[in-house]
Amino acid sequence: MLDIKFIRENKDLLQTVAGQKNIKVDLDKLIKLDDKRKALNQKIDELRSQKNQTSKEIPQMDPKDREIALEKMKVVDAEQDKLEEQLKPFLVEINALMLEVPMYIHKDTPIAIDESGNVSIREVGEIRKFDFTIKDHVQLGKDLDIIDGERGVKIGGSRAYVLKGDGARLEQSLLKYAQDFISRKGYTLMYVPVIVDRFALEGTGFLPGSEDQIYHLEKDDKYLVGTSEVALGAYYSNEVLDIKNIPCKMAGISTCFRREAGTYGKDTSGVYRVHQFNKVEQFILCEGDAEKSQAMFDELAKNVEEFLASLKLPYRILNICTGDMGRGKYQMYDFECWMPSRKNYGETHSCSNLHDFQARRLNLRYKDAEGKINFCHTLNNTLVATPRILIPLLELNQNEDGSVTIPEVLRPYMDNQEKIVKK
């Protein structure tokens, strides 16, 4: 959500950005509705002022004039009530339209209608060349008895899976290593709710717009989150933080759920695209200053680069274009790891700067050194998401004898085990 004053002053810019992001929003209608809101509010304020003035004068009136004044006050009260009722539908419609307005974009964001317009910034790490016929993660999982897709589907339907034995241990080692890695950088670990109220999804910008990707528990009117970003963003909602407590750096730990609607027949085998997964998510609240939030964006990206380098996974960074970045994003990078079975890179991380888009929706503020209240900027980036990260990890570390070498940094979390072998 953006400030209505900013929207008025930058209507043409925002209408252009909406088109670039493939978002339909009628800013002319929004401004006309806001004009009507302002006019009604002005009348209500005038009546309220009139009542206040009369209330001050009544004690000095004689009984007859006081009675007349009180009768007039009743008429004014009725008129005010009438206007306030007229105002309510305008506020509802204005709020609905305000939620549709997109965030403006960083000057370096590519302009394109879809993911084909994403731009590679750089590729990092040497892609391993094999001198034997390799297996994909699905076959490795079967042969090593660490991933059971068939029984997963039997239990939970399409895109369900079971990690077992060393597969489960490997996933947990990744999650624990990620937590230790980010804790050492000063981020507070947060184990957060995965069942949330609608306001948290609206506040973080996932609703409206992503209804088909979110599990809705209709009986309780609750939602399952697709990322702990939702809970982390809502954590300080309607609060004012002290400047000394920001930037506030958190790392959310949660199971995540996505319906993957619209992906029928796509990536149905294996664990690339699943309904349930685990994630450690970086999240930062910082001052509402473009330079400072840019520094935080760079930090989030650097953290992931260090993390992937420690696992010795080759990756590339993409600058995400307008048509692929979403309504609330000011700037967005994707990190993709090399996946031999796909003969390509596959997305494993997503880094976003949303400026004050989420903060205004969640009423996330801070008090600066001069005592002024400002809206925060919010940023997020995956640190690790499993089981998808298992794809490059298993495939790139496989050996000719069918075993998989465990990355050195993960071995302390697996009793110093060096390889996963068929048992």
pLDDT for 325-353, tens place per residue? 999 999 999 999 999 999 999 999 999 99
- Integer Cα distance of 376 and 239 in angstroms: 11
Whether residue 1 has pLDDT greater than 80: no
Structure confidence at residue 56 (pLDDT): 83
Instruction: Tokens for 65, please give them.
Output: 């004039």
In the predicted model, what is the mean pLDDT of residues 408-423? 97
Burial class of residue 146 (count of CB atoms within 10 Å of its CB; 0-12, 13-18, 19+):
buried
Residue 119: C-alpha distances to residues 23, 162, 273, 334, 381 (Å): 21, 35, 23, 10, 18
Whether residue 300 has pLDDT greater than 80: yes
The pLDDT confidence band at residue 223, using thresholds 50, 70 and 90, is very high
Virtual torsion, Cα 301, 303, 305, 306, nearest 10 deg: 160
Whether residue 262 has pLDDT greater than 70: no
The residue written with tokens 């149905």 in the block is 268
Higher pLDDT, 77 or 40: 40
Contact at 8 Å (CB) between 56 and 73?
no
Whether residue 406 has pLDDT greater than 80: yes
Peptide bond into 208 cis (omega under 30): yes
The pLDDT confidence band at residue 261, using thresholds 50, 70 and 90, is low
- CB atoms near residue 207 (< 10 Å): 18
Whether residue 58 has pLDDT greater than 90: no
Whether residue 263 has pLDDT greater than 70: no
- Integer Cα distance of 218 and 198 in angstroms: 11
Least trusted range by pLDDT, from 125-134, 181-190, 266-275: 266-275
Burial class of residue 64 (count of CB atoms within 10 Å of its CB; 0-12, 13-18, 19+):
exposed
Structure confidence at residue 55 (pLDDT): 81
The pLDDT confidence band at residue 68, using thresholds 50, 70 and 90, is confident
- Integer Cα distance of 347 and 320 in angstroms: 12
Whether residue 267 has pLDDT greater than 90: no
Alpha helices in 58-165 (DSSP H): 63-98, 137-143, 149-156
In the predicted model, what is the mean pLDDT of residues 289-303? 98
Contact at 8 Å (CB) between 414 and 406?
yes
Longest pairwise C-alpha distance within the chain: 105
Percent of the chain with pLDDT over 70: 98
- Specify the domain boundaries for CATH 3.30.930.10 within the chain: 115-420
- Specify the domain boundaries for CATH 1.10.287.40 within the chain: 4-98
Specify the DSSP element, H or E, that contains 322: helix 322-325
Compute the mean pLDDT over every residue in the chain, rounded to the nearest whole number. 95
Structure confidence at residue 245 (pLDDT): 95
In the predicted model, what is the mean pLDDT of residues 206-230? 95
Contact at 8 Å (CB) between 278 and 255?
yes
Whether residue 177 has pLDDT greater than 80: yes
Structure confidence at residue 264 (pLDDT): 57
What CATH superfamily is the domain 115-420?
A: Bira Bifunctional Protein; Domain 2 (3.30.930.10)
Whether residue 268 has pLDDT greater than 70: no
In the predicted model, what is the mean pLDDT of residues 249-274? 84
Structure confidence at residue 174 (pLDDT): 98
Structure confidence at residue 57 (pLDDT): 80
Report which DSSP code applies to 69.
Answer: H
Structure confidence at residue 60 (pLDDT): 81
Determine whether domain 4-98 maps to CATH 1.10.287.40.
Answer: yes
- Tell me which residues are annotated as active site: 258, 273, 347, 350, 388
Higher pLDDT, 281 or 60: 281
Q: Which residues pair with residue 200 across a beta bridge?
A: none
CA distance from start to end of the chain: 55
Structure confidence at residue 52 (pLDDT): 83
